[in-house]
Amino acid sequence: MVMTSGWSIFIIIIVVAHIIGYSYLLWSTSKMKAKDYKEGETTGHEWDGIQEYNNPLPRWWLYMFILTIIFAIGYLVLYPGMGNYKGTLGWTQENEWAKENQDVLAKRAELFSTFIDKPIPEMIKDEKAIAIGERLFANHCSTCHGSDAQGAVGFPNLTDDDWLYGSQPDTLVQTITNGRNGVMPAWGAALGDEGVKQVAAYVREFSEQGQDEKLVAEGQKKFAMFCVACHGADAKGNHMLGAPNLTDTTWLHSFDSGLVETILIEGISGKMPAHGELLDEGSIKVLAAYVYSLTHE
């Protein structure tokens, strides 16, 4: 970022004025002889019974200050520090970062070279790849999915066999790269209060048998009208849409008697953030391999 010429001139004036001021102060101080100081004279500063005497600085201390000014002038000639002046060495933070980044990429390429070209099902056999993937998971995924990858309410468990979008290697890479946006629309207005109770009873019957038979029967009819497009006629979900399987006992947002009805009325949404801008392709593949290894030998 290049500052305006006005700010550049202002900074240059401030820096030069400080150097000149400090130089004059040291020069004027060094001209004073020991006889110019009165014995016992203080500067007027006193704190907690301690008085500051007006004695001349030791010569070594004075020379040290002179050396710091010389160093500052040399530094400002070689490196940027005077507004937009770039310095004779042409040093910049961007160039320094680029150089260090190149070194990191080279070392990483050497580290990845033994496994990165393998398919993910083969990569999970490499302990080094899985160790790197585990660290990537801890840095980027554990906040939501937990350090053990078992998730929490609203965050999927990655260690079981229940997947909203499927657990194929390419799918995992796509999910990590682009993220996911899950939306369950609100059906309260379309179903009405009674319709919500009926569909909720039908859905709960899969996991908690013994629901009211009449409600279940009517709920099945309404489910066929409003829900099969996403969850399927058998209510086992759709990986293409991220629609969950409603016939098992795995519930992303937990399961209780009132939650199913609340979700039917209000709908619910979830977001898996995209990591394509945070991680490069190699890191995403290694991370996907680690997630894949959680449910595959």
Tens digits of per-residue pLDDT, 52-107? 777 777 788 888 999 999 999 999 999 998 888 888 998 988 899 999 999 998 99
Tokens coding 190: 């379309």
Q: What's the pLDDT score for residue 1?
A: 61
Q: 168 with 191, same domain?
A: no
Q: What's the pLDDT score for residue 247?
A: 92
Q: 55 with 106, same domain?
A: no
Q: How many domains does the chain have?
A: 3
Rounded alpha-carbon distances, angstroms, from residue 185 to 12, 38, 233, 273: 61, 89, 18, 20
Q: 288 with 157, same domain?
A: yes
CA distance 17 to 7: 15
Q: 174 with 191, same domain?
A: no
Helix (H) or strand (E) holding 288: helix 281-293
Q: What's the pLDDT score for residue 30?
A: 76
Q: What's the pLDDT score for residue 3?
A: 76
CA distance 132 to 177: 17
Q: 141 with 82, same domain?
A: no
Q: What's the pLDDT score for residue 43?
A: 74
Q: What's the pLDDT score for residue 51?
A: 82
Q: 109 with 191, same domain?
A: no
Q: Which letter does DSSP use for residue 243 in this model? A: B
Q: 43 with 116, same domain?
A: no
Q: Which of 51, 66, 91 is the last residue of a domain?
A: 91
Q: Which of 34, 62, 91 is the last residue of a domain?
A: 91
CA distance 287 to 137: 6
Q: 280 with 163, same domain?
A: yes
Q: 159 with 113, same domain?
A: yes
Q: 84 with 105, same domain?
A: no
- What global pTM score does this model have? 0.71
Q: Which of 50, 75, 91 is the last residue of a domain?
A: 91
Three-state SS for 200? Answer: helix
CA distance 236 to 228: 10
CA distance 257 to 6: 68
Range of the domain at 52: 5-91
CATH number of domain containing 113: 1.10.760.10
Q: 125 with 143, same domain?
A: yes
Q: 251 with 203, same domain?
A: yes
Tokens coding 61: 């201390």
Low-confidence ranges of the chain (pLDDT < 50): none
